[in-house]
Amino acid sequence: MSTTPSTGSTPETGTARVKRGMAEQLKGGVIMDVVTPEQARIAEDAGAVAVMALERVPADIRVQGGVARMSDPDMIEGIIGAVSIPVMAKSRIGHFVEAQVLQSLGVDYIDESEVLTPADEVNHSDKWAFTTPFVCGATNLGEALRRIAEGAAMIRSKGEAGTGNVVEAVRHLRQIKGEIGRLRSLDNNELFAAAKELRAPYELVKEVAELGKLPVVLFSAGGVATPADAALMRQLGAEGVFVGSGIFKSGDPAKRAAAIVRATTFFDDPKVVADASRNLGEAMVGINIDTLPESEHYAKRGW
Amino acid sequence: MTRPTIGVLALQGDVREHLAALAAAGAAAGPVRRAEELAGIDGLVVPGGESTTISKLAALFGLTEPLRAAIRGGLPVYGTCAGLIMLADKILDPRSGQETFGGIDMIVRRNAFGRQNESFEAGVDVAGVEGGPVEGVFIRAPWVESVGAQVRVLAEHRGHIVAVRQGNLLATSFHPELTGDHRVHELFVSAVRAAG
């Protein structure tokens, strides 16, 4: 065995490239909500690229009500110990101390999430202050860019979590993609006014106009319950999907989880999606968004 | 073969970045998801991603055996991060049922450099790459514990092996595809040309 000299240069942690690059590794994959180490292992065995550790899935938060907060550190550590894939966990919007706790536990990604009850109705957390990368939800391009300006290294369209209804996920992803498409058609003079309309930093707006995409990975979340839902979000331009209540609120979680993974990879092959959709047992019941009172629209949390 | 055709295994991971880096390095690049697509390529990249996921999807869609056969037949393959794990003959701590394509006589340790908070960037001198160290982006990166006699170590970071080559197979713990530096991809494209 021959050896070569190493440079021994000082390693730098927490850089934007390392944080955003982590999300690039998740592309094409499914991130699943889990509430126990056992569920985390089922998710990993089904081919999930990461799990989201939380105490209650959004569907249960809806039913049980009350203030939804960061999960118990013991529960998060139990899940970290159970799997080798990355583990994410949620902090409340603007609750930077919950985020500090999650970072200290060694989670791989922090979701500053509207599914939990917001702690600050004006400010989101300063995400540049952390080594751990953040993912944040967005309903439109301006919101996505404001989160990126605050340091988010990954964006997910919000959808409406815990409903099993994909309609809001479709609306938000179409909105973001549509606004990116519009920026592409603007000339340099128009980008300044566009930045003002989007209430987003000009430099980010210009970057999106040039790239034709966000400068970070874009996943979809909130309402995906079936393999076809996941494939739909991929065909609409999501680079991967989060599945919350859809898996462990269904009849056969292991089977449904594996099926959603397959449909996410072969999202453009209807035969694979058809096979993945067979005999999955009962899907989660689902909620029609129209019947939700305004205060229970999670997507309206954050700005 | 001035412009070789190189596939990127597109089951999961940072496929787009590899396609762009390969194009910049002078290859015609395209995604590969099915066994029959292996016939049309001169070389293959196994990207970064989650090695457990890539392993499961490859088995599920009947890619594992055809790819092993292609590797035995001399197909040049470059693996980054999860791709390095997939090219290892042995994983030190595999998840149950996690199988690699193999081909490089080495033992790898997954997530050896730590979790995401320990992910880092550092310059890495790679044997065969001229012009100074490459920008090494290490994300929950594996390292190589040990290698067999046929394996050439191309780079180390702080005493751990992070780049190797055995015949037409190349593997790095880090992600050159996430940087604008295409020299490692150029090294692979030349290896593909030489093999053709």
Per-residue pLDDT tens digits for B137-164 = 999 999 999 999 999 999 999 999 999 9
* Catalytic residue of the set A19, A90, A177, A249: A90
| ipTM, 2 dp | 0.95
Instruction: State the CATH architecture for B5-195.
Output: 3-Layer(aba) Sandwich (3.40)
Average pLDDT over residues A165-183: 97
Residues, chain B: 196
The residues, any chain, with a CB within 8 Å of residue B192's CB and separated by 6 or more, are B1, B4, B6, B27, B42, B43, B76, B168
DSSP state of A7: -
Q: How many CB atoms lie within 10 A of CB B127?
A: 15
Cβ A47–B56 below 8 Å, yes or no? yes
Q: What would the pLDDT profile of A201-247 be if each residue is shown by its tens digit?
A: 999 999 999 999 999 999 999 999 999 999 999 999 999 999 988 89
| Active-site residue flag, A158 | no
* Tens-digit pLDDT profile for residues B84-107: 999 999 999 888 778 999 999 999
Residue-level pLDDT at A61 = 87
Nearest-Cα residue of chain B relative to residue A260 = B57
All residues of chain B having their beta carbon less than 8 Å from the beta carbon of residue A110 are: none
Q: Residue A193: in which H helix or E strand, if any?
A: helix A188-198
Question: Model's pTM, two decimal places?
Answer: 0.94
B81 labelled catalytic: yes
- Confidence class for position A9, pLDDT limits 50, 70, 90: low
**Residue B1 CA: distances (Å) to CA of A2, A73, B41, B129:** 31, 56, 12, 21
pLDDT at A94: 97
Q: State residue A4's pLDDT score.
A: 43
Confidence class for position A288, pLDDT limits 50, 70, 90: confident
Secondary structure (DSSP) of B93-104: SPPTT------E
What sign has the CA pseudo-torsion B131, B132, B138, B142? positive
Interface probe, candidates A101, A217, A265, A273, chain B, greatest B C-beta count within 10 A? A265
Question: Are the beta carbons of A225 and A253 closer than 8 angstroms?
Answer: no
**Residue A300: its pLDDT value, please?**
86
Query: Which band of pLDDT confidence, cut at 50, 70 and 90, is reported for residue A5?
Result: very low
- Condensed to tens digits (0 to 9), the pLDDT of residues B104-145 reads 999 999 999 999 999 999 999 999 999 999 999 999 999 999
Kindly identify which residue of chain A lies nearest to residue B106, measuring between CA atoms.
Answer: A1
The pLDDT score that the predictor gives to residue B183 is: 98
Who among B13, B60, B125 is closest to A28 (CB)? B13
Q: Which residue has the tokens 């390529």?
A: B41
DSSP label of A123: -
Tell me which of A262-266, A283-287, B30-34, B141-145 is least confident. Answer: A283-287
For residue A88, the chain B residue with the least C-alpha distance is: B116
**pLDDT tens digits for range A33-90:** 999 999 999 999 999 999 999 988 888 888 888 899 999 999 999 999 999 999 999 9
Structural element, H or E, at residue A235? helix A227-235
* Percentage, residues of chain B above pLDDT 70: 99
Q: Can you tell me the distance from the alpha carbon of A162 to that of A168, in angstroms, rounded to the nearest whole number?
A: 12
Work out the mean pLDDT of chain A and round it to a whole number. Answer: 93
Is A147 annotated in a binding site? The answer is no
Give the confidence band of A2 by pLDDT, cuts at 50, 70, 90: very low
Q: How far is A228 from chain B (nearest CA, A)?
A: 18
Structure confidence at residue A6 (pLDDT): 43
Write out pLDDT tens, residues B53-72.
Answer: 999 999 999 999 999 999 99
CB pair distance less than 8 Å for B60 and A12: no
Nearest to B153 among A3, A26, A45 (CB): A3
Annotated binding residue A137: no
Instruction: Determine the pLDDT at residue B96.
Output: 75
Average pLDDT for residues B160-178, to the nearest whole number? 98
Q: For this structure, is B182 an active site residue?
A: no
The pLDDT score that the predictor gives to residue B9 is 98
Q: A285 pLDDT exceeds 90?
A: no
Tokens at A158, concatenated: 């919000």
Give the nearest partner residue to A84 out of B111, B139, B179, using CB atoms. Answer: B111
CB pair distance less than 8 Å for A132 and B48: no
Residue A138: what pLDDT?
98
Residue with tokens 């930045």: A195
Predicted local distance difference test score (pLDDT) of residue A116 = 94
* Per-residue confidence (pLDDT) for residue A60, from 0 to 100: 87
